[in-house]
Chains A and B, each alone.
Chain A
Amino acid sequence: MALAAAALAPGFRDPVPDAQGTFRAVMEALARPGSLQRLATLPAVPEPLPPELAAIALALADHEAPLWLDVRLAAAPAVVDWLRFHSGAPVVADPASAAFALIADPAACPPLEAFARGTPDYPDRSATLVLAVAELTTAHGLILEGPGIRGRALLGAAPLPNDFAQRLERNRAGFPLGVDHLLVASGRVAGLPRTTRILGVA
């Protein structure tokens, strides 16, 4: 009974504008790495699903765009049911077949090689990793350079895997193949597309 009730808990309050607003924030975030974009409307979610991950899943996932959940989320049947019910997206066990990976425990994010990186002919057939972090700031952190950035930008997030900067650099070196990252916290989203170079830490 608990599961059925969770599955019936509402998704977006007003699905059309809420999905548009969420998409627009994600688009701006990927177009301007190092900027924080506001996710204006967050759905009420079953624990332990971070509402920012839920909003992005509802806005962008569906039967053509499967979700992969990290261990923390996959272990919560209420989360899996809620996402399945509201997005209609398959929840897959193999990260390589996911369009979006929802990661609530970012420090334990699997290596990027576990996800789809596209093919030389179709580099777009690649995953977007959405990491819910505790802190997100543009005051300090990784020094970013690349398309979408005027000069240089800063982006700090925690917690993350210790080798996150190296992962991003390796990812960028494989361009045009690669995965793209979204980092979310406190109703904000930041984008790290595969084109972004990491110059160091400040």
Chain B
Amino acid sequence: MTAMSTRGFARLASGAAGTNFGYLDEQTKRMIRRAILKAVAIPGYQVPFASREMPMPYGWGTGGVQVTAAVLGPADVLKVIDQGSDDTTNAVSIRQFFARTSGIATTTSTAAASVIQTRHRIPEHRLKEGQVLVYQVPIPEPLRFLEPRETETRRMHALSEYGLMHVKLYEDIARHGHIATTYAYPVQVAGRYVMDPSPTPKFDNPKMDDCPALQLFGAGRERRIYAVPPYTRVRSLEFEDHPFTVQRFDRPCALCGAADTYLDEVVTDDRGGRIFVCSDTDHCEERRAAGHRGEAA
């Protein structure tokens, strides 16, 4: 699956000299741009858009790619991450796709990027004003697993009828003694719409709140775009007696020694050896370049 998809991807991208800047045609870009503007004006609300076929399968970030393609200009510097990493197949493919179809500069540095497309992580490095963070979203509707009918979820959003969401979190507490949801943890944006932050670990939820960067979300298969403007309140749902908390790790990163980052488990041998390292590879490399060392480095 992986090899087949990336081959097709590379073939199309390499023959892309004849495509428009950023691959999409101008009419499609205008349609997506109009959806983005309304998404920014109505924070957390899911704007329907006419998602296009992209030269990659659904599930590989077609929503994020379309949003990025509509936003990018010749002066932009693009970073793409997949679970925090700049060098996985998905991240490399999307970065090359835009380098070839628009000729723009790419980077792995969070600070140097003007547009960052992400699958399921928010960089550890604090984002700044003027940056745009584009999320790839598989299922944009936070109420979908509770109510399968789109007509109903749309009505629930219209009426701010979010009791069901709290019931779901309460069932977590009843069953596990605590809220067991660890990713795609629902948030309320600017005190109104409940939104799926995409399957980021809930560790990243606090970074969405009062963020200086503009956050855009694209769901290709589900055909929705939504947004969180800069400096906007993003509150994770919680109960008074069960406040929202993030994951804590009981050890620092084995490579850079950071104690405040989200860690991935990496199996190092076939005898059960494992280390925990920063999921954000750029952040980890920057720290090591600055002289920080973990126990495995």
Contacts and interface: CB of A to CB of B under 8 A. Distances in A.
Partners in one complex: yes
Interface of A: 15-17, 19-21, 23-24, 26-28, 30-32, 59-62, 64-65, 99, 120-124, 126, 128, 146-150, 175-176, 180, 193-195
5 contacts: A15-B26, A20-B74, A31-B40, A128-B37, A148-B229
Contacts of B71: 23-24, 27
Contacts of A30: 37, 40-41, 229
B30 interface: yes
Given A26-B37, A32-B230, A180-B41, A124 B47 contact: yes
Interface string B218-253: 000000000111111100000000000000000000
A17 B74 contact: yes
Contacts of A123: 42, 45
Given A21-B73, A121-B154, 5 more contacts: A17-B74, A26-B37, A30-B41, A124-B42, A176-B193
Interface in B14-52: 20-21, 26-27, 29-31, 33-43, 45, 47-48
Nearest to A64: B31
Contacts of A120: 155, 158-159
Given A31-B214, A31-B229, A150-B231, A19 B30 contact: yes
A-B pairs, top 9 by smallest CB distance, nearest first, are A120-B158, A193-B41, A148-B229, A124-B38, A147-B232, A147-B229, A20-B73, A180-B41, A124-B47
Contacts of B47: 124
A147 B36 CA distance: 15
B19 to A, nearest CB: 11
B43 A147 contact: yes
Contacts of B31: 64
A121 B155 contact: yes
B229 A124 contact: no
Contacts of A16: 20-21, 26
Contact of B38 (A23, A64, A126, A148): A126
A17 B190 contact: no
Given A27-B40, A180-B37, A124 B30 contact: no
Contacts of B26: 15-16, 19
Contacts of B40: 27, 30-31, 148, 193
Contact of A195 (B20, B21, B190, B212): B190
Contacts of A150: 212, 230-231
A27 B72 CA distance: 12
Interface string B187-215: 00010110000000000000000001010
A147 B233 CA distance: 8
Interface in B171-194: 190, 192-193
Nearest to A19: B26
A120 B48 CA distance: 14
A27 B36 contact: yes
A120 B26 CA distance: 30
Contacts of B33: 23, 27, 59-60
Nearest to B193: A176
Contacts of B214: 27-28, 31
A147 B214 CA distance: 11
A155 to B, nearest CB: 16
A17 B20 CA distance: 11
Contacts of A195: 41-43, 190, 229
Contacts of A128: 37
A148 B21 contact: no
Given A124-B47, A176-B45, A17 B37 contact: no
B73 A176 contact: no
A128 B158 CA distance: 21
Given A121-B154, A124-B38, A180-B41, A147 B27 contact: no
Contacts of B212: 150
B73 A59 contact: no
Given A27-B37, A175-B192, A17 B73 contact: yes
A28 B40 CA distance: 10
Nearest to B74: A17
B102 to A, nearest CB: 10
A121 B161 CA distance: 13
B13 to A, nearest CB: 19
